[in-house]
Amino acid sequence: MDLAVSEPETPSEAAYRQLRDRLLAGGFPLTRRLGEERLAAMVGVSRTPVRHALIRLHGEGLVSRHQDGGYRPAIPDPEDITCLYEARRALEIGAIWAPTEAGRRHDRAALGELREHWENLRSEQPPADAGFVAVDEDFHVRLAAAAGNEVMVDLLRSVNARIRVIRIHDFLSDDRIEQTISEHLDILRAVAADDPSTAERVFRAHLAKSKEVAEERALRAIARMARLD
């Protein structure tokens, strides 16, 4: 039997992962500049991988520009987050209902592939990790794409990118990974059964719980960073 051999982690990836996880845990002072030299010594790499990691973290909204140059931990705007969640809810519910309202059905092949993928994830559940946010986003984008409206899909991708700074906090425990997988499969079953009412009800509960957990963990992390100042 062939065994997959995982490639060794690059210095840039190691720096990104360690800095991301520490930011999510609230491990840096909130207002202090994230100095490359100090971070490089902490992570055990040179400054270049740290610089690449900070650029990536800035793109994800986890760090923001510091007034003295460089970066600092980001503070999400609660009003923006609320508006983004509202936009996401409207887009995804629209995608759930769109085929029914147009007298057609979701793409059956796309639904089947998506369900198979998430059944496999349930059989071999991945460990809790902030990077699971990308897997979660992929589910919601593919489900929307199965409705056949590419404009809606593009808008959802944009909202996901802007809200990721909060949503990334939702996947830091095994129970949340397990619950997410289960709820995704429940949504898929309802959509495949041409039952948008049930799909919407499950999705609304799914989104509300995800928002509650992510915001609570993000606020705790910000509070910890404030105490370090």
Cβ-count burial of 180 within 10 angstroms (0-12 exposed, 13-18 middle, 19+ buried)? buried
| Tens-digit pLDDT profile for residues 53-70 | 999 999 999 999 999 889
Confidence category of residue 51, pLDDT binned at 50, 70, 90: very high
Kindly state the percentage of the chain with pLDDT values over 90: 89
**Average pLDDT of every residue of the chain:** 94
Confidence category of residue 113, pLDDT binned at 50, 70, 90: very high
Residue 8 in this model has a pLDDT that exceeds 90:
no
Residue 122 in this model has a pLDDT that exceeds 70:
yes
Tell me the CA distances in angstroms from 221 to 90, 109, 127, one per residue in order. Answer: 29, 41, 21
Average pLDDT for 179-196: 98
Residue 3 in this model has a pLDDT that exceeds 50:
no
- Domains along the chain? 11-75 (1.10.10.10), 78-224 (1.20.120.530)
**DSSP E strand boundaries for the chain:** 63-65, 71-73
Contact between 190 and 48 under an 8 Å Cβ cutoff? The reply is no
| Tens-digit pLDDT profile for residues 136-145 | 999 999 999 9
| pLDDT for res 5 | 44
| pLDDT for res 229 | 74
Confidence category of residue 6, pLDDT binned at 50, 70, 90: low
